[in-house]
């Protein structure tokens, strides 16, 4: 069987082809699945999508009309999929429920330290042979307080690194993680976490209840010299409200690997065109902000696990099996 994979990065393509070798042929496209590209899938029973794919009802109906019966998404999050429509159409939809949490946790810390120690600014200066230190002063993390929103596998991995730095640990989640408690984490309500933390890192999924969990009020509650890191989903942060606070001179640093309007921008080369997103353009101009393009998961370890799970999801579909990765039809509880 030939599988059509959308949104395949150059580094990812040989890994996908190798993983499916001897089982199925796979056609890899660098374009992302959207209303405009969905007709390309006509005649393909199995389609694989990437994290920023548009799997709205309209796209799903186009895929189903073209003969697609199974969609294997290569990501954990699935807020981009209209599962109600998928179930109405009888489409099988799977995701990757688990991959290396260390990839994202380590990258979140990379962002935190980059903005704390002004690494980007320092690097740009030395490229111009400017070796002054003025404006590059950071802070020790040891003894300061970190607030972790979401203490699942990734949040726990992030917390373990924070513990290694010798930080005070605050957490918020719908349920406490015993491993984090054992490390010394104190679970508090969101307002206390926002007000008390020197560094805040987001590791919750994007749900209706978490949309703009970092909104105008939360931002105003935070310390003026706090560091905010988001390596989870862009919609967790109200970016317009964040820009407003940054314009008033607040926050020691902000590290963002995700952006709420990243679809159609991230993973693409926009260097030769005018980007019309004024909010993103303004955000990037702040000297205390580092923006990367949704790359926290992008390690050989994590991508390899994502692809292996995708191969297994396809095998389950062809064998008529359902697993914890199956989103549609729903797995009986």
Active site members: 233, 262, 294
How long a stretch of residues is the chain? Answer: 333
Query: Is the CB of residue 45 less than 8 Å from the CB of residue 1?
Result: yes
Q: Which of 245, 173, 244, 251 is nearest to 213 (CA)?
A: 173
Distance of CA 248 to the CA centre of its chain: 27
CA angle 196, 235, 282 (to 5 degrees): 85
Q: How far apart are CA 138 and CA 253, in angstroms?
A: 10
Q: Which of 43, 82, 99, 53 is nearest to 27 (CA)?
A: 43
Q: How far apart are CA 253 and CA 294, in angstroms?
A: 18
**Tokens at residue 142, please?**
């040891």
**Tokens at residue 126, please?**
């030395």
**Tokens at residue 117, please?**
């120690």
């Amino acid at each position: 069987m030939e599988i059509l994979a959308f949104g395949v990065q150059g580094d990812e393509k040989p890994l996908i082809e190798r993983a499916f070798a001897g089982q199925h042929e796979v056609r890899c496209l660098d374009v992302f699945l959207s209303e405009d590209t969905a007709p390309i899938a006509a005649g393909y029973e199995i389609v694989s999508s990437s994290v920023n794919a548009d799997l709205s009802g309209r796209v799903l109906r186009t895929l189903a009309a073209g003969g697609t019966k199974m969609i294997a998404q290569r990501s954990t999050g699935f807020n981009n999929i209209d599962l109600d429509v998928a179930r109405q159409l009888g489409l099988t939809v799977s995701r990757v429920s688990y991959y290396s949490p260390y990839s994202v946790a380590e990258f979140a810390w990379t962002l935190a330290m980059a903005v704390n120690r002004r690494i980007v600014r320092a690097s740009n200066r030395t490229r111009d042979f400017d070796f002054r230190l003025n404006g590059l002063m950071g802070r020790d993390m040891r003894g300061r307080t970190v607030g972790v929103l979401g203490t699942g596998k990734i949040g726990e991995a992030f917390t373990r690194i924070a513990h290694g730095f010798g930080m005070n640990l605050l957490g918020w989640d719908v349920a406490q993680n015993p491993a984090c408690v054992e490390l010394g984490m104190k679970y508090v309500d969101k307002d206390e976490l926002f007000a008390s933390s020197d560094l805040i890192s987001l590791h919750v999924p994007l749900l209706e209840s978490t949309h703009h969990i970092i909104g105008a009020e939360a931002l105003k509650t935070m310390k003026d010299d706090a560091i905010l890191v988001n390596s989870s989903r862009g919609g967790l942060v109200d970016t317009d409200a964040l820009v407003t606070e940054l314009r008033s001179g607040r926050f020691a640093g902000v590290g963002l690997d995700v952006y709420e309007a990243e679809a159609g921008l991230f993973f693409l080369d926009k260097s030769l065109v005018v980007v019309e997103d004024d909010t993103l353009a303004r955000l990037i101009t702040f000297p205390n902000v580092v923006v990367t393009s949704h790359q926290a998961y992008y390690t050989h370890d994590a991508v390899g696990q994502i692809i292996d799970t995708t191969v297994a999801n396809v095998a389950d579909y062809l064998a008529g099996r359902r697993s914890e990765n199956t989103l549609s039809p729903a797995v009986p509880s």
